[in-house]
């Protein structure tokens, strides 16, 4: 049934039903532009509790329109009893796009590395990959535009910042960790697309490992994916497991790594499954 017809049927049955948007208490959205003039749609949630003297912890989540409501509901439910759940009242910042789509096409450029054509994996439909390689510009936007805006609006504890991404967003999260480890304290990479431009992300990983061995940092990383993400052509579980095995050797250098596999979940269903473990990681 078309949407308009469905609304007409509902309103005919009950005049109290209206097609107005549902408003989330304590949440808002606003446009924000990068230095290059690119528009983003920022979703912002503020805890009901007063900020501690050090400021609120903050979670920056990619694909903002995908699970913002889910993260918000989980954070509010669990942070009421922080002493039992380990989840702290936190500011949640979802980074989305004007389309409002859960996974907007613009993400492909923002979350990927500038990979040479010979290192690109085959696309699912056999067509050329869309524009890609804007990860550093997007990270500049987060660091130079978005974070200052949030810190102007709210008291933020800069020592308790988390970056959360899934799929290409998980790849971007690892890129941020490897190239700018001081940008966040906690990094949550769900189902990271490590097949994308393997040689480049591997080089970044190697540089990060060497950097951490030279200068210790207190960092937390959660890598998680679904049990059903093991097959060809991307072999995501094998790649993620290998990354975990290599990075867990850095515990003495301050990197705490956790690895989760969600039983019975696939690439898409892993995202909501990851929300609660992400919140607990952000509270570390």
Q: Which residues are catalytic?
A: 167, 229, 267
Q: How far is CA 44 from CA 170, 184, 271, in A?
A: 21, 18, 19
- Determine contact, residues 63/107, Cβ cutoff 8 Å: yes
Pairing of β 91-96 and β 39-45 = antiparallel
Q: Which H, E and C letters describe 40-51, residue by residue?
A: EEEEEECCCCCC
- Between helix 198-214 and helix 168-179 the angle, nearest 10°, is 40
CA 152, CA 277: separation in Å to the nearest integer?
29
Contact between 156 and 91 (Cβ < 8 Å): yes
Helix (H, G, I), strand (E, B) or coil at 61: strand
Residue 145 is given by DSSP the state: I
Give the integer Cα–Cα distance in Å for 278 and 260. Answer: 11
Q: Dihedrals φ, ψ of 156, to 5°?
A: -120, 135
Q: For residue 218, how many other CB atoms are within 10 A of its CB? A: 11
Rounded to the nearest angstrom, the gap between the alpha carbon of residue 252 and the centroid of all alpha carbons in its chain is 26
Contact 134, 109 (CB under 8 A): yes
The CA–CA distances, whole Å, from 23 to 10, 58, 104, 180 equal 20, 22, 22, 36
Rounded to whole angstroms, the Cα distance separating 25 from 32 reads 21
């Amino acid at each position: 049934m078309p949407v308009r017809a469905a609304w007409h049927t509902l309103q005919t049955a009950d005049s109290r039903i209206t097609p107005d948007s549902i408003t989330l208490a304590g949440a808002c959205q606003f446009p924000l532009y990068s230095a290059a003039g690119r528009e983003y749609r920022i979703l912002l949630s503020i805890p009901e509790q007063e900020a501690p003297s050090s400021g609120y912890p903050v979670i920056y989540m990619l694909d903002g329109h995908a699970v913002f409501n889910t993260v918000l509901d989980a954070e509010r439910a669990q942070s009421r009893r922080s002493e039992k759940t380990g989840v702290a009242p936190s500011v949640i910042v979802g980074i989305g796009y004007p389309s409002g789509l859960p996974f907007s096409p613009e993400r492909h450029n923002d979350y990927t590395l500038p990979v040479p054509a010979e290192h690109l994996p085959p696309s699912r439909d056999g067509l050329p990959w869309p524009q890609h390689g804007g990860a550093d510009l997007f990270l500049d936007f987060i660091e130079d535009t978005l974070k200052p805006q949030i810190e102007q609006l709210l008291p933020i504890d800069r020592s308790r910042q988390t970056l959360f991404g899934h799929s290409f967003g998980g790849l971007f999260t690892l890129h941020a960790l490897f190239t700018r480890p001081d940008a966040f304290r906690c990094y949550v990479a769900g189902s990271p697309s490590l097949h994308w431009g393997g040689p480049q992300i591997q080089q970044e990983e190697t540089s990060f490992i060497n950097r951490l061995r030279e200068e210790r940092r207190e960092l937390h990383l959660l890598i998680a994916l679904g049990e059903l993400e093991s097959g060809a052509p991307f072999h995501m579980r094998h790649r993620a497991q290998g990354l975990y095995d290599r990075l867990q050797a850095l515990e003495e250098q301050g990197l705490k790594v956790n690895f989760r596999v969600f039983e019975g979940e696939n690439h898409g269903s892993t995202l909501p499954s990851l929300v609660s473990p992400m919140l607990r990681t952000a509270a570390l």
